[in-house]
Structure 1
Amino acid sequence: MFLHSSRTRSLAVAAIVATAALALTGCTSSGSSSSSSSADTLIAYTGQSGDYQINFNPYSPSSIGGIGTIFEGLFFITNVNSAPYTPLLGTDYTWSDDGTQLDVTLREGVTWSDGEAFTADDVVFTFNMLLDTPSINTGGFDGTVTAADDTHVTFTWTHPAFVDGPTVLGRSYIVPEHIWKDVDPTTDVMEKPVGTGAFALTNFKAQAFTLSANPTYWDGEPKVKAVRYLSLSGNTAGADALAAGTIDWQTGPVPDIKNVSKNYQGYDAITVPQNQMILATCSSAELGCTGPQTDPAVRQAIYYAMDRDQANSLAFEDTASEISPSFALTTSQSDLISSSLEEPIAPSSPDVATSDALLTGAGWAKGADGIYAKDGEKLSLTVEVVTGWTDYITALDTIKQQLKTAGIDITVAQSSWNEWTDKKGKGNYQLAIDSLGQGPASDPYYLYNNYFSTANTAAVGTSVSLNIGRFSDANVDAALTVLKATNPADTATRQAQFDIIQASIVENMPYIPIMTGGTTSEFHSAKFSGWPTLDDLYAFPAIWASPDNSQIFKTLVPTGK
């Protein structure tokens, strides 16, 4: 799922609760430290509000931890900056000129947490496991991998695969062949996970589990000696725990979120604009969508009728920020926004005149009740939201009033997360509030490919998970094909394709931009130093974001306070 913080946590909890319960009073992984003082133990709260169900399989959708901390990729790659990849199990990589071969040098002297040596055979095994098990191959790896020796592997494809690099190098987690060759990767929950990472599981209970520092970690034992994950009862309990000083890091709303350092002694906060909030529309009549939202003029009119500043103030405590209708992030990808766009940034205040002009130009006429109609059909729409998502519900209540002023009537329909997801996936909706997330690296290609590619959508009735807007454009598909085959260093060719894609999605607007959501985390800056800042955003600082959270754990230094 590609949602902002409160949403992501909710989905994680839903997945965990759905997993069959497993009882375990405690476990210890060999080769890892099992004790730590309170000064060097980091207490984390991810939003978990029910019992943990043990699952440390990095390829399971119900995994509760271990990605990055226990199981490492070849490199650390984040989508919040464009810095060079940080070496982990890999130390160097080289692409062939045509993008069909990727050579990777592996780190020497690495051992698994059970003492076995890590070799290239483990890398080959991991990727062959993905090829042999399509249900866990969510990154879509379709190449081959061979080992030249213990420290060199070669990936090959029958097509240029430059855009697959971040997933292969940074989002594919290497597992030990000597253990995983005897398990089913689709069902095994890895009660005693063995990895190469800086931490290892040392204790598990339904209310909390502990990852302890690995004293034999290849990069040296971390300064943070343990990370303890707690289950609390929700956002209010998280805020109370901050006030009491009993947790060190959480991501989510707290009262008066702009004054965390003032209200919570010893704590600071950071807000990172990353996930772009939208009104998704079932946009394509050709693919079976029905309703006024299938008219591009209606989608454009909604875009111009919104008062984004007001919605930000009332629903998001002013933590949201500007959004580009191109869906390139204005913070880190602004240089990729097409110079041909007349309005590269969505208006912050309503432009009802433009909204009116768009609707009247498309044959809509305002009725006596102030609501537009066409061919006997009122411009009345239903927008779907999940029950309990208070910020989104407040935003929709605000937008509803704004659109009414512009002659557009919307009804807000609340439902369970499962029902909301089913409606979006099958196209049985008109509008739905959601957000578009970034891909494995800071590159808008991944967002465009996920949400605007014909390959990722289908006719209404067939469930899809990405292109829920039912958007299809041959020119966009062709541009994506060129991008897939283009070396990232060829910026001119890439920008030409971005220009094509952006022109189409701004004109058609299957996803109506609201604002860029701010993900806010609160952390114990008096107890640990080295947290990410907006000036040094070396990782995405959300406690639930893996493997970024692991990179932060390894960077932090206890202050002794």
Structure 2
Amino acid sequence: MLPVVRRLPLEPLIIVPYQSIGQYGGVLHGTSKATESGTSDLLSVRRVNLVRFSDDLATVVRNVAKSWDWNADFTVLKVTLRQGHKWSDGAPFTAHDIALWYNNIQMDRNVIETSKDRFLSAGKPVKVEALNDTTVQFVMNEPAPGYPDNFAQDHAQPFLPKHLLEKFYPTFNKDADKLAQSLGFDNGSALEQDLCADSRLKVLPVTEATDDVIEHVVWMKNRRNLPGIRDFIHLAIEQCCGALSELSEL
């Protein structure tokens, strides 16, 4: 795995601390909406989104995306990525990774049987195209000024490594199915479904509310003894919208 310092983009996102830079390691306390047993919240800590919500829980601000622009009637969205992002193996992260995620994973019924409504427009697929390495375009079926909000939510990371996955698609590789079969899958679609359908964690339904704090051990110090979050403690709340509104007013 490429060291983090060599994976930093040419235009890194700089976040100004509220008061001071905190201490590394320790315990991180947060709240969980308890959706899908809370796994989406945890995955959003492990991964990053194109955009994110600011502290007011309403304003969408940049994250992996450097900027985004709409046309006059909010039917064409162009998202510009910050230059120089890399995957953990050192391969460039580009707009083509976003196009593959949408066109070849989200909209492939052999991989995902039913797409999430939030990634559709007027109930139909959006036209997603990588215009170049740092610009991806979304063409809606009707005005959708709130569409970027979908990428700020939990478990909404709209990209997958094309350089790794395209070899299992007949569209990109005529021997895709044969390669997947050599790895024990029926075909390329079966392999993609196993890797990318939604989550590599098994998602279980919420059967009852919990009264106590739920503790998830997420990060410990790594083999190089670098500090990380030791525990991530989630308070699962049933009425998420009201609770989050109350938290925002504190």
1:316-331 residue pairs with structure 2 within 5 A? none
1:170–1:91 distance in 2 versus 1, CA, 3 Å: same
1:388-407 residue pairs with structure 2 within 5 A? none
The question of whether the paired residues in 2 share the 8 Å contact of 1:31 and 1:114 is answered with no
Deviation at residue 164 of structure 1 after TM alignment: 2.1
Please list the CA deviations of residues 433-463 of structure 1 after superposition, one character each: whole Å capped at 9, or x if unmatched. Answer: x7373xxxxxxxxxxxxxxxxxxxxxxxxxx
Hey, what's the Cα distance between the residues in 2 that align with 1:95 and 1:518? 29
Hey, what's the Cα distance between the residues in 2 that align with 1:46 and 1:136? 29
Structure 2 residue runs without a partner (length 5+): 6-22, 169-191, 203-215
Match of 1:126 in 2: 101
Matched, 1:189 2:173: no
Match of 1:80 in 2: 56
Please list the CA deviations of residues 102-153 of structure 1 after superposition, one character each: whole Å capped at 9, or x if unmatched. Answer: 0111110111122111011111112222222254535242311111111111
1:86–1:138 distance in 2 versus 1, CA, 3 Å: same
Match of 1:178 in 2: 163
Match of 2:116 in 1: 137
The question of whether the paired residues in 1 share the 8 Å contact of 2:119 and 2:126 is answered with no
Match of 1:153 in 2: 136
Hey, what's the Cα distance between the residues in 2 that align with 1:212 and 1:520? 34
1:180–1:97 distance in 2 versus 1, CA, 3 Å: same
The question of whether the paired residues in 1 share the 8 Å contact of 2:31 and 2:234 is answered with yes
Match of 2:74 in 1: 99
Hey, what's the Cα distance between the residues in 1 that align with 2:41 and 2:243? 24
Hey, what's the Cα distance between the residues in 2 that align with 1:109 and 1:212? 27
Match of 1:209 in 2: 218
The question of whether the paired residues in 2 share the 8 Å contact of 1:251 and 1:519 is answered with no
Structure 1 residue runs without a partner (length 5+): 1-28, 34-38, 49-58, 192-206, 214-223, 231-248, 253-274, 276-433, 438-515, 522-531, 535-561
Matched, 1:41 2:17: no
Whichever residue aligns with residue 227 of structure 1, its letter is I
- Secondary structure of 1:92's counterpart equals strand
Whichever residue aligns with residue 66 of structure 1, its letter is L
Please list the CA deviations of residues 222-253 of structure 1 after superposition, one character each: whole Å capped at 9, or x if unmatched. Answer: xx9412236xxxxxxxxxxxxxxxxxx6547x
Whichever residue aligns with residue 147 of structure 1, its letter is A
1:70–1:32 distance in 2 versus 1, CA, 3 Å: farther
Matched, 1:116 2:116: no
The question of whether the paired residues in 1 share the 8 Å contact of 2:83 and 2:134 is answered with yes
Whichever residue aligns with residue 189 of structure 1, its letter is R
Match of 2:3 in 1: 31
1:79–1:66 distance in 2 versus 1, CA, 3 Å: same
The question of whether the paired residues in 2 share the 8 Å contact of 1:90 and 1:106 is answered with yes
Matched, 1:163 2:146: yes
Hey, what's the Cα distance between the residues in 1 that align with 2:144 and 2:69? 12
Hey, what's the Cα distance between the residues in 1 that align with 2:136 and 2:49? 14
Calculate percent identity across the aligned residue pairs: 19
1:32–1:43 distance in 2 versus 1, CA, 3 Å: farther
After TM superposition, the score normalised by the length of structure 1 is 0.27
Deviation at residue 62 of structure 1 after TM alignment: 4.6
The question of whether the paired residues in 1 share the 8 Å contact of 2:131 and 2:137 is answered with yes
Match of 2:42 in 1: 65
Deviation at residue 92 of structure 1 after TM alignment: 1.3
- Secondary structure of 1:124's counterpart equals helix
Hey, what's the Cα distance between the residues in 2 that align with 1:164 and 1:211? 36
1:75–1:120 distance in 2 versus 1, CA, 3 Å: same
Hey, what's the Cα distance between the residues in 1 that align with 2:95 and 2:126? 16
Hey, what's the Cα distance between the residues in 1 that align with 2:66 and 2:57? 20
- Secondary structure of 1:121's counterpart equals helix
Matched, 1:435 2:239: yes
Match of 1:459 in 2: none
Larger CA deviation: 135-144 vs 150-159: 135-144
Deviation at residue 518 of structure 1 after TM alignment: 6.7
The question of whether the paired residues in 2 share the 8 Å contact of 1:210 and 1:227 is answered with yes
Hey, what's the Cα distance between the residues in 2 that align with 1:40 and 1:164? 35
CA RMSD of aligned residues (A): 4.2
1:518–1:436 distance in 2 versus 1, CA, 3 Å: closer
Hey, what's the Cα distance between the residues in 2 that align with 1:76 and 1:209? 21
Hey, what's the Cα distance between the residues in 1 that align with 2:30 and 2:57? 23
After TM superposition, the score normalised by the length of structure 2 is 0.55
The question of whether the paired residues in 2 share the 8 Å contact of 1:71 and 1:175 is answered with no
1:121–1:137 distance in 2 versus 1, CA, 3 Å: same
Whichever residue aligns with residue 31 of structure 1, its letter is P
The question of whether the paired residues in 1 share the 8 Å contact of 2:54 and 2:61 is answered with no
The question of whether the paired residues in 1 share the 8 Å contact of 2:81 and 2:134 is answered with yes
Hey, what's the Cα distance between the residues in 2 that align with 1:91 and 1:127? 20
Hey, what's the Cα distance between the residues in 1 that align with 2:78 and 2:84? 19
Please list the CA deviations of residues 500-525 of structure 1 after superposition, one character each: whole Å capped at 9, or x if unmatched. Answer: xxxxxxxxxxxxxxxx447888xxxx
